[in-house]
A and B are shown apart, each in its own frame.
Chain A
Amino acid sequence: MIQFIAARLAAYVPTLFGVSIVLFLAINVVPGSPAQASLGINATPEAIARFEREHGLDRPLHEQYVSWLARVLQGDFGSSFQAGVPVGPELMSRLFVTLELAIFAFLIANLIAVPLGCLAAYYHQRPADNAFILLATLMGALPNFWLATLLILLLTVTLHWLPPGGYVPFAEDPGRNLMLMVMPAISLGVVSSALLLRIMRTSMIEVFSSDYIRTAVAKGARRGVVIWRHALRNALIPYLTVGAVEFSLLFGGVVIIENIFLLPGVGQLALIGITQRDYPLLLASVLLIAVVVMTANLIVDVIGASLDPRRVRTAGGE
């Protein structure tokens, strides 16, 4: 197991290196310069020259990249072009916001997907199953930003139940924090649950058709015991793999939702990085997202391996 985890951790390095090169090239290939973006319509040639000199943008691309990389390897992510905000500390403070949102959304997605998926499988090919499938199709078809807008219209503008956006750290005011997280988490979670529901259903249908379930039913085990105790554990293995992918998508896909709900998360920072061509900001945020995505996959593989030890050998390459 330790060898398996070590191998996976070692794969982080080339992956992150590749991500940083692709991003660095991409942001330099698209039209628009950081200096022009930062200085706007009043930019004089002198101001642009000063800006490029200050941020080393007047040097060849490969030199810029190498000096950025050298600093990152020493743990210094540099400062943003715009206001000289140190990127490292800024990113860390935002990591918790995005993690909280992603975890909260993931919980909501699972709370919808697991029970409904199980029930759909139990009532396979009956009206209830069809209804759940239709529901999953509908939820999967909703754009999360549209759902977010609807939620604001209903819960904030019409009913005045929830604040429209903003952020208060959990440690400062847990109640307020949760109130602010509910709508963004629902917007992300509901849409995410669609795929999970389908996977749960398919996985459960397969398990229900296996011999040991038939035996359990034949022995007169109650419906609840069959579903929750016998079937679910085995159905969870494929579900977890997809779940990890879904969590990664959630973490990486928070950009628009964070903007709508004014959450100071990593996604919002990445967006500023893109629009302002602020590559210290963009590279650091995307690298962080990549690390979280890879770690989520690793954790799920470890859990999956403990549920099914055969996976360690396959994944570890033995």
Chain B
Amino acid sequence: MTRHTLVSRRDFGRVAAGGLAAGVLIVAGPRLALTEPKVGGTLKLAFDHDAGGFDPAKAVYGMSHAVIEQVYSGLTALDSEANPYPDLAETIDISEDGKVYTFHLRTGVTFHDGSPFSADDVKFTIDRLKNPATGYSYASQLANVTETTVVDPNTVQITLSEATGPFLVNLAFPGSMIVSKKLVESGHDINATPIGTGPYTFGSYQPGTVIKLARNPKYHESPKPYIEHLEYTIISDQTAITTALQSGVVNFSNVIPAKDWAAIEANPDLTKAAIEGGRWFWIMVNNQKPPLDNAKVRQAIAHAIDRQAIVDAVFYGLAKVIQGGVVPEWSWGHAPELKVLSPKADPEKAKALLAEAGFPNGLDLDFKIGTEWPALMAMGPIIQANLQAAGMNAKISTMGTTQYLDEVWAKRGYDISDMYWLSPLADPDDFTSLNYLCGSPMNAQGSCSKEMDALLNEARSAPTKEARADAYRRMQALSMEEMTLVPLVSALILHAHTNKLQGFKPMRTGFLKTLKEAWLEG
């Protein structure tokens, strides 16, 4: 019995094209009159980080994923509003109990080496990701998958242990992209030279410098993509990205530093968009180390912080204060009534909480910051001053990324640290599970709460979106009580590109899958 069928992109597009929802701030530059799509041109995109391999099962860097999403296709993909639609699947049937997904695959799709795509590749990919020996970093996304069955060459059935709300979203994650069984089994190193079914074929990669992609003329949504070449230029210095964009060395970036936004806005040759996605910042608190194992102490830290000051000083106003749960306003999982934290600091409340916890005279904290992230470095002294005002003496020590990951993330040798991430799926589950679930790799604060785990599982497997949303509201309310981590702000994703780029819809996820719809004028 089929509960629900997700239709193909062609029909879905009409729904998805409804535009950007509330909570989006669009600052548009003068656009050329919208014209008909045409094939050609080179889009030169600037990124601030290097890639680290292109095998979907091994890649963990955002930059690797930005390449993988263009070279590969998944069973589903996300539109600009982070809603899933069928991609390599033509239609998807979901059973009444939400446990069995039947994917009717597109026919005639080929990998870039010319070999045909089939249901065997889907089964091979999912089994490979599930195999512990693969060491897939995001295996938790597919934890509920119990079996993948090839029904016929064009049909695959995936069975889940329980209904999983974000399953179709998870399948759109770059890690879940479908690889070729034949290629991987033949020993071809897809980490160095990826070959997929996506809109772009892999050209070359020069470490720390540039990644070149070329249009796949046999793409299954042909004549898309329209842009002939994509060049991903890696510019590690953020200010240099602005300079490169202003001078035309590159003509696209979605990693523009907030400090340069005013200069970018003043440039009439660029089209701009500032969008709230899932880039949120928080203070990690070592939940396993006394006295931080006391929720009152963690709440004291939360109330001590002047979030508005961080928005103003670090993000030049291009961020939003998080007052309660971490699911952002634009998402259906947001909890609008949950306003526990005031935008300004409340040092008196923080002091009272500290006194309640048994520290009326304050306490000392070891505050570690990774130097690679300018925003985290910039907010460090603000956090330090805020904590000082509430009687907490935080001593800052800074270190390079590798040392930071080792000391703070692997060995948990810290009291507090600031961190951020950009949720690549922009689903409420993605915003919350990785950070709050017991034992999750991103739970570096070392928290473990049965009540929280139960709520997260309920939110993930509830039968309807409404039921899921309700569970996320309760989960976020609990997160404010437990305060295992201290949410700070949600920073806007800043895009700017040449006015010649037409038809591009910026994505909530910060990804660029929608580039296949865009074209270059002139």
Say yes or no: is B401 at the interface (Cβ < 8 Å to chain A).
yes
Which stretch from A13-21, A27-35, A112-120 is at the chain B interface? A27-35
Q: Assign chain B's interface to a size class.
A: 35 or more
Q: Mark A144-168, 1 if CB is under 8 A from B, else 0.
A: 0000000010001100100111110
CB-contact partner of B406 in A36, A42, A83, under 8 A: A36
A-chain residues with CB within 8 Å of residue B50 when the two chains form the complex: 82, 272
A-chain residues with CB within 8 Å of residue B52 when the two chains form the complex: 38, 82-83, 276
B209, A268: Cβ atoms closer than 8 Å:
yes
B243, A36: Cβ atoms closer than 8 Å:
no
Report Cα–Cα, A48/B402, bound state, in Å.
14
A42, B192: Cβ atoms closer than 8 Å:
no
Q: Mark B166-193, 1 if CB is under 8 A from A, else 0.
A: 0000000000000000000000010110
Which residue of chain B lies nearest to A52 when distances are taken between CB atoms in the complex?
B135
B-chain residues with CB within 8 Å of residue A163 when the two chains form the complex: 247, 249
B-chain residues with CB within 8 Å of residue A22 when the two chains form the complex: none
Which stretch from B147-155, B231-239, B475-483, B512-520 is at the chain A interface? B231-239
A156, B235: Cβ atoms closer than 8 Å:
no
A30, B208: Cβ atoms closer than 8 Å:
no
B-chain residues with CB within 8 Å of residue A259 when the two chains form the complex: 236-237
Report Cα–Cα, A276/B401, bound state, in Å.
9
Interface centre among A47, A160, A260, by most chain B C-beta atoms within 10 angstroms, is: A47
Say yes or no: is B442 at the interface (Cβ < 8 Å to chain A).
yes
Given contacts A46-B139, A262-B233, contact A164 B409 (CB under 8 A): no
Which residue of chain A lies nearest to B407 when distances are taken between CB atoms in the complex?
A31
A-chain residues with CB within 8 Å of residue B61 when the two chains form the complex: 40
Report the minimal beta-carbon distance from A280 to chain B, rounded to whole angstroms.
12
Say yes or no: is B244 at the interface (Cβ < 8 Å to chain A).
yes
B-chain residues with CB within 8 Å of residue A166 when the two chains form the complex: 233, 244, 249
Which residue of chain A lies nearest to B67 when distances are taken between CB atoms in the complex?
A83
CB-contact partner of A164 in B53, B132, B240, under 8 A: B240
Say yes or no: is A304 at the interface (Cβ < 8 Å to chain B).
no
Report Cα–Cα, A47/B406, bound state, in Å.
15
A-chain residues with CB within 8 Å of residue B192 when the two chains form the complex: 79, 83-85
Say yes or no: is A80 at the interface (Cβ < 8 Å to chain B).
yes
A85, B402: Cβ atoms closer than 8 Å:
no
Q: Mark B132-154, 1 if CB is under 8 A from A, else 0.
A: 11111111000000000000000
Say yes or no: is B205 at the interface (Cβ < 8 Å to chain A).
yes
CB-contact partner of B137 in A32, A44, A262, A276, under 8 A: A44
Say yes or no: is A275 at the interface (Cβ < 8 Å to chain B).
yes
A152, B236: Cβ atoms closer than 8 Å:
no
B137, A43: Cβ atoms closer than 8 Å:
yes
CB-contact partner of A264 in B208, B400, B410, B442, under 8 A: B208
Which residue of chain B lies nearest to A157 when distances are taken between CB atoms in the complex?
B243
Interface centre among B135, B210, B442, by most chain A C-beta atoms within 10 angstroms, is: B135
B401, A37: Cβ atoms closer than 8 Å:
yes
B-chain residues with CB within 8 Å of residue A160 when the two chains form the complex: 247
Q: Mark B368-412, 1 if CB is under 8 A from A, else 0.
A: 000000000000000000000000000000001111111101100
Report the minimal beta-carbon distance from B122 to chain A, rounded to whole angstroms.
22
B135, A30: Cβ atoms closer than 8 Å:
no
A-chain residues with CB within 8 Å of residue B209 when the two chains form the complex: 167, 262, 264, 268
Given contacts A80-B207, A275-B400, contact A43 B233 (CB under 8 A): no
Report the minimal beta-carbon distance from B187 to chain A, rounded to whole angstroms.
13
B-chain residues with CB within 8 Å of residue A275 when the two chains form the complex: 400-402
Report Cα–Cα, A82/B207, bound state, in Å.
9
Given contacts A40-B61, A47-B135, contact A32 B406 (CB under 8 A): yes
Which residue of chain A lies nearest to B239 when distances are taken between CB atoms in the complex?
A149
A39, B402: Cβ atoms closer than 8 Å:
no
Report Cα–Cα, A166/B444, bound state, in Å.
38
Say yes or no: is B200 at the interface (Cβ < 8 Å to chain A).
no
Given contacts A36-B405, A160-B247, contact A281 B237 (CB under 8 A): no
B402, A277: Cβ atoms closer than 8 Å:
yes
Interface centre among A163, A262, A276, by most chain B C-beta atoms within 10 angstroms, is: A262
A41, B189: Cβ atoms closer than 8 Å:
no
Report Cα–Cα, A259/B209, bound state, in Å.
9
Which residue of chain B lies nearest to A82 when distances are taken between CB atoms in the complex?
B52
Report Cα–Cα, A8/B418, bound state, in Å.
53
A-chain residues with CB within 8 Å of residue B402 when the two chains form the complex: 30-33, 36-37, 275-277
Say yes or no: is A200 at the interface (Cβ < 8 Å to chain B).
no
Which residue of chain B lies nearest to A86 when distances are taken between CB atoms in the complex?
B192
Given contacts A30-B403, A31-B406, contact A281 B207 (CB under 8 A): yes
A-chain residues with CB within 8 Å of residue B139 when the two chains form the complex: 44, 46
Say yes or no: is A135 at the interface (Cβ < 8 Å to chain B).
no
Report Cα–Cα, A122/B189, bound state, in Å.
65
Report the minimal beta-carbon distance from B174 to chain A, rounded to whole angstroms.
12
Report Cα–Cα, A79/B136, bound state, in Å.
21
Report Cα–Cα, A50/B401, bound state, in Å.
21
Say yes or no: is B441 at the interface (Cβ < 8 Å to chain A).
yes
Which residue of chain A lies nearest to B410 when distances are taken between CB atoms in the complex?
A36
B-chain residues with CB within 8 Å of residue A46 when the two chains form the complex: 132, 135-136, 139
Q: Mark A272-287, 1 if CB is under 8 A from B, else 0.
A: 1001110001000000
Given contacts A82-B207, A262-B233, A262-B240, contact A41 B405 (CB under 8 A): yes
Say yes or no: is B494 at the interface (Cβ < 8 Å to chain A).
no
Report the minimal beta-carbon distance from B231 to chain A, rounded to whole angstroms.
10
Which residue of chain B lies nearest to A153 when distances are taken between CB atoms in the complex?
B243
Report the minimal beta-carbon distance from B21 to chain A, rounded to whole angstroms.
28
Which residue of chain A lies nearest to B210 when distances are taken between CB atoms in the complex?
A264
A33, B233: Cβ atoms closer than 8 Å:
no
Report the minimal beta-carbon distance from B63 to chain A, rounded to whole angstroms.
10
Which residue of chain B lies nearest to A149 when distances are taken between CB atoms in the complex?
B239
B-chain residues with CB within 8 Å of residue A271 when the two chains form the complex: 208
Report Cα–Cα, A269/B444, bound state, in Å.
31
Report the minimal beta-carbon distance from A168 to chain B, rounded to whole angstroms.
11
Given contacts A42-B442, A44-B135, contact A269 B208 (CB under 8 A): yes
Report the minimal beta-carbon distance from B169 to chain A, rounded to whole angstroms.
17
Which residue of chain B lies nearest to A262 when distances are taken between CB atoms in the complex?
B235
Can you name 5 extra interface pairs (CB under 8 A) apart from A44-B137, A85-B192, A165-B249?
A30-B403, A42-B60, A47-B135, A50-B135, A83-B191
The chain B residues found within 8 Å of chain A, CB to CB, are 50-54, 58, 60-61, 64, 132-139, 189, 191-192, 205-210, 233, 235-237, 240, 243-244, 246-247, 249, 400-407, 409-410, 419, 421, 434, 441-442, 444
- Going nearest first, the 6 A-B pairs with the smallest beta carbon separation are A50-B135, A32-B402, A84-B192, A47-B135, A264-B209, A82-B52
The chain A residues found within 8 Å of chain B, CB to CB, are 30-33, 36-44, 46-51, 79-80, 82-85, 90, 93, 152, 156-157, 160, 163-167, 259-260, 262, 264, 268-269, 271-272, 275-277, 281
24 CB-based A-B contacts, threshold 8 Å: A31-B403, A32-B400, A32-B401, A33-B406, A40-B60, A42-B138, A43-B410, A44-B139, A47-B136, A48-B135, A50-B134, A83-B52, A83-B192, A83-B207, A84-B191, A90-B206, A157-B246, A164-B240, A167-B209, A259-B236, A262-B244, A275-B400, A275-B401, A275-B402
